[in-house]
Amino acid sequence: MICNEPLIMKDRIRPNIGTFECGHHFHLSCILTYSKLKMTTDCFKCFPSKVRNLPNFGEDRLIAMESLIDARSKMKKTENNNTWFNFNTTLQSMVNLGTALTTIKLKGYLPEDFIEKGISWKSLNKIYTVDSLLDFGFRWHHMIVMGFKPKDFKSLNWHHLSAVLDLKAADMMQTSMNIRDLASLNLEAYQLNELGFTWQDFVNMGGNATNMKLLTNDFQDFKTYFEPSQEQLFEAGFTEEKKQLYKNVAPKKTRKLKINGMVF
């Protein structure tokens, strides 16, 4: 069922080659035959004696899988020809036409292919939703290489930032964002803290007593989540006058002087 003939691979083209989840590679035709007869999707090297009671793929499914692999191989060859007649089969043209990402994925494309073709994140984000792009498999290391800009963060919500991409302050600052870019995301102070932003980060991004008010109008937020020292506050321009522009600023304590029964 599984032959010992060598596998033939050229660059990214892998004709008649299939891969089990464990990473072992075999001829696709051998895998299909083995899976059909043994009714299993397990690698025969990892599970040589294990036969699961799974439903048979069926002839139609096997033919469809073989056709898909064949179509992928032909598509790659056609794209490499780069002729005018084959223009409508290129990755860039499919993106321009708004071809569904699920369709593009079935053709065998990965996020790395978009990078290889020089397709920018901005152009993708104009056509596809962020959720569909993330479902396709794009992650931060792809996005930053594809020219992700500070303004592109506006299309991401908190779930995207914290759960899906697991971004940290250092990642976000790779885009050379400034304090106004960060403020435009309308994140709460506790969220900025969870992302790992520090007071010094704000200062390095051009933050001062005037524009940091865009991050939060509550001075207590700065003290609670970022704990700036008095020296840091002074260096950022937080004079007593500037502090009064924020909410929850404790009034400056004054010493009362009593002279001849009168309090000054």
Quote the number of domains for the chain: 2
Judge whether residue 142 has pLDDT over 70. yes
Q: pLDDT (tens digit, 9 = 90+) per residue, 153-205?
A: 999 999 999 999 999 999 999 999 999 999 999 999 999 999 999 999 999 99
Question: What is the model's pTM?
Answer: 0.61
What is the C-alpha separation between 137 and 157, in angstroms, rounded? 17
Q: How sure is the predictor about 63, in pLDDT bands with cuts at 50, 70 and 90?
A: low
Tokens of residue 208, six digits: 């001062």
CB 44 within 8 A of CB 34: yes
The answer to whether position 187 is within a domain reads yes
Contacts of 78 (CB under 8 A, 6+ apart): 86, 89
Which residues span the domain enclosing 50?
1-86
Q: pLDDT (tens digit, 9 = 90+) per residue, 248-259?
A: 765 544 445 545
pLDDT at 84: 45
Residue with the larger pLDDT of the pair 54 and 215 = 215
The answer to whether position 224 is within a domain reads yes
What is the C-alpha separation between 48 and 46, in angstroms, rounded? 6
What is the C-alpha separation between 67 and 233, in angstroms, rounded? 66
The answer to whether position 13 is within a domain reads yes
Q: pLDDT (tens digit, 9 = 90+) per residue, 110-136?
A: 999 999 999 999 999 999 999 999 999
pLDDT at 12: 57
The answer to whether position 190 is within a domain reads yes
pLDDT at 103: 94
What's the angle, vertex CA 247, arms to CA 245 and CA 253, rounded to 5? Answer: 80
Contacts of 241 (CB under 8 A, 6+ apart): none
pLDDT at 69: 46
Q: How sure is the predictor about 31, in pLDDT bands with cuts at 50, 70 and 90?
A: confident
Among residues 86, 115, 145, the one where a domain terminates is: 86
Among residues 86, 118, 149, the one where a domain terminates is: 86
Among residues 55, 86, 117, the one where a domain terminates is: 86
Q: pLDDT (tens digit, 9 = 90+) per residue, 194-248?
A: 999 999 999 999 999 999 999 999 999 999 999 999 999 999 999 999 998 898 7
The answer to whether position 244 is within a domain reads yes
pLDDT at 162: 96
Task: Round the CA-based radius of gyration of the chain to a whole number and report it.
Answer: 29
The answer to whether position 99 is within a domain reads no
Q: How sure is the predictor about 27, in pLDDT bands with cuts at 50, 70 and 90?
A: confident
Residue with the larger pLDDT of the pair 31 and 85 = 31
pLDDT at 231: 95
Residue with the larger pLDDT of the pair 122 and 72 = 122
The answer to whether position 9 is within a domain reads yes
What is the C-alpha separation between 170 and 195, in angstroms, rounded? 9
DSSP string, 104-115: HHHTT--HHHHH
Q: How sure is the predictor about 13, in pLDDT bands with cuts at 50, 70 and 90?
A: low
